[in-house]
């Protein structure tokens, strides 16, 4: 059995121990401060007798340390050193997750924790249930109040039938031991956890949620958060970004959301207007008559791709050929024909676009493609229309 110093003294940075078992690169010690990971938190890093510990894991009552090239034997004395800056960051992250989720779940009783991820680079929790930025903001404020109140964080060991568990966040089905370790953050949170935590909320400094994104199919949402100095720096960056956005929109910072909502509504109205005129322009196309075959063609400015494709499908429901293009930041080309008309749309598209370095594909009756930039738009349109006319005329004489 390995004595777990990380539980009895999570601030232990250096310790002496004796090797009790050797399994190749793996060392088992009589005591260790290396946390093997768990509860979403990654394992510790550091050294044993100045050699890097590249992996730590729990195996029953033992803590295994992988130390390639250690050269140690059973009974040898060793000195372990924890990468303290990394460990302390993880401790703050793990404690911050407890505090943040407790406030989120208090505001949203139907919120369920699905997964936790605590690494030095990124900290997040995945949840199912209703959650939005207004709730996150309230939870952040309440968490900050707890931090500024300098609440003590304590450990309790209770039996599985202790009444205290009914007042705690705990999933007994995941706990194998007879006793349950409870972590209390003042009077704001009580949860079962076998991880490492700081002793006082003041050590967190700050908790900030900079990102709230979809986590499907694992969960509804992923809540990314930062603690301490990283949270402060991120808050400064976001503050500058928000002030810049306010200036760009011509609004006061406190009115940024309403200004953005107004802009989005105006954008939707403009998109609807543009779509109306796109549909009208496509509906008003007048075909050329190429030896009795109708040829629809047109080059449009920033035409929506779907609008072009829908129009092409509609126009060739009756015997006709169409060549439609859109010139925006890039050029897009659609060539289509009725099945009874022997025009190879894919072949025309390929020949046209290859000359300007474009790409595309499709079948004989329908093909789409394009080229980066818009400089070759008129040339591509002229060439593809000319090619379509040639095929129509040639096939009329077969």
Tens digits of per-residue pLDDT, 27-79?
999 999 999 998 899 999 999 999 999 999 999 999 999 999 999 999 999 99
At residue 397, the pLDDT reads 60
pLDDT at 207 over 60: yes
Do 177 and 62 share a structural domain? no
Count of domains in the chain? Answer: 4
Q: What is the pLDDT of residue 398?
A: 53
According to the model, what pLDDT value does residue 163 have? 84
DSSP state of 174: G
pLDDT band for 342, please (50, 70, 90 cuts).
confident
Token representation of residue 271: 């998109």
In a domain, 245, yes or no: no
Are 376 and 356 in contact, with CB atoms under 8 Å apart? yes
Before 217, cis peptide (omega within 30)?
yes
Closest to 185 (Cα-Cα) out of 218, 138, 226, 153: 153
Q: Which domain holds residue 317?
A: 285-396
Both 370 and 232 in one domain: the answer is no
pLDDT at 274: 86
Instruction: Return d(Cα 60, Cα 64) in angstroms, integer.
Output: 10
Kindly state whether residues 101 and 219 are assigned to the same domain: yes
Nearest to 334 by CA among 323, 344, 319: 323
| Domain C-terminal end among 54, 82, 110 | 82
Q: Span 355-361, mean pLDDT? A: 91
Flag whether pLDDT at 161 surpasses 90. no
pLDDT greater than 70 at residue 314: yes
In a domain, 74, yes or no: yes
Residue 60 lies inside a defined structural domain of this protein: yes
Q: For the residues 328-336, what does the mean pLDDT come to?
A: 95
Q: Is residue 191 scored above 60 in pLDDT? A: yes
Q: Is the pLDDT of residue 178 over 80?
A: no
| Residue-level pLDDT at 179 | 85
pLDDT surpasses 70 at 91: yes
C-alpha neighbours within 13 Å on the C-beta side of residue 143: 31
Q: What angle do CA 286, 291, 297 make, to 5 degrees?
A: 30
How confident is the model at residue 169, as a pLDDT? 86
The sign of the torsion formed by the CA atoms of 307, 309, 313, 319 equals positive
User: What's the pLDDT tens digit per position in 223-276?
Assistant: 999 999 999 999 999 999 999 999 999 999 999 999 999 999 999 999 889 888
Asked if the model's pLDDT at residue 167 lies above 90, the reply is no
- DSSP classification of residue 177: S
- Whole-model pTM: value is 0.75
**Contact present, 320 and 338 (Cβ < 8 Å):** yes
| 110 and 181 both lie in a single domain | yes
Structure tokens at 35: 């946390």
Nearest CA-CA partner of 195 in 113, 83, 114, 117: 117
295, 322 contact by CB (below 8 A): yes
Percent of the chain with pLDDT over 90: 83
Question: What pairs with residue 27 in β-bridges?
Answer: 22, 65
User: Do 158 and 222 have their domain in common?
Assistant: yes
Which of 134, 69, 83, 86 has its CA nearest to residue 108?
134
């Amino acid at each position: 059995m390995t004595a777990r110093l990380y539980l009895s003294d999570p601030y232990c940075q250096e310790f002496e121990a004796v090797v009790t078992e050797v399994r190749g690169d793996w060392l088992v010690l009589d005591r260790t401060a290396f946390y093997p990971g768990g509860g979403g938190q990654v394992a510790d890093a550091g050294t044993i007798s100045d050699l890097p510990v590249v992996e730590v894991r729990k195996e029953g009552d033992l803590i295994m340390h992988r130390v390639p090239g250690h050269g140690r034997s059973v009974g040898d004395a060793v000195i372990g050193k924890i990468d303290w800056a990394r460990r302390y960051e993880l401790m703050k992250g793990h404690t911050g997750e407890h505090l943040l989720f407790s406030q989120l779940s208090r505001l949203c009783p139907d919120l369920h924790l699905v997964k936790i991820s605590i690494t030095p680079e990124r900290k997040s929790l995945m949840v199912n249930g209703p959650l939005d930025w207004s709730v996150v903001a309230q939870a952040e404020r309440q968490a900050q109040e707890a931090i500024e109140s300098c609440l003590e964080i304590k450990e309790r060991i209770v039996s599985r039938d202790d009444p205290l568990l009914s007042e705690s966040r705990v999933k007994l089905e995941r706990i194998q031991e007879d006793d349950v370790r409870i972590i209390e953050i003042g009077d704001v949170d009580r949860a079962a956890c076998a991880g490492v935590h700081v002793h006082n909320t003041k050590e967190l400094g700050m908790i900030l949620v900079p990102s709230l994104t979809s986590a499907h199919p694992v969960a509804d949402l992923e809540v990314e958060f930062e603690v301490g100095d990283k949270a402060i720096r991120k808050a400064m960056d976001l503050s500058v970004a928000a002030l810049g956005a306010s200036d760009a929109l011509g609004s006061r910072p406190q009115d940024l959301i309403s200004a953005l909502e107004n802009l989005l509504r105006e954008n939707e109205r403009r998109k609807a207007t543009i779509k109306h005129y796109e549909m009208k322009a496509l509906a008003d196309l007048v075909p050329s008559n190429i030896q009795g075959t109708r040829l629809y063609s047109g080059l449009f400015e920033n035409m929506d791709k779907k609008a072009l494709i829908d129009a092409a499908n509609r126009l060739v429901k009756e015997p006709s050929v169409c060549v439609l293009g859109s010139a925006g930041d890039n050029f897009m080309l659609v060539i289509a024909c009725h099945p009874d008309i022997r025009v190879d749309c894919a072949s025309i598209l390929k020949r046209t676009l290859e000359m300007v370095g474009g790409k595309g594909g499709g079948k004989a009756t329908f093909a789409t493609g394009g080229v980066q930039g818009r400089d070759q738009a008129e040339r591509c349109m002229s060439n593809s229309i000319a090619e379509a006319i040639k095929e129509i005329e040639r096939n009329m004489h077969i």
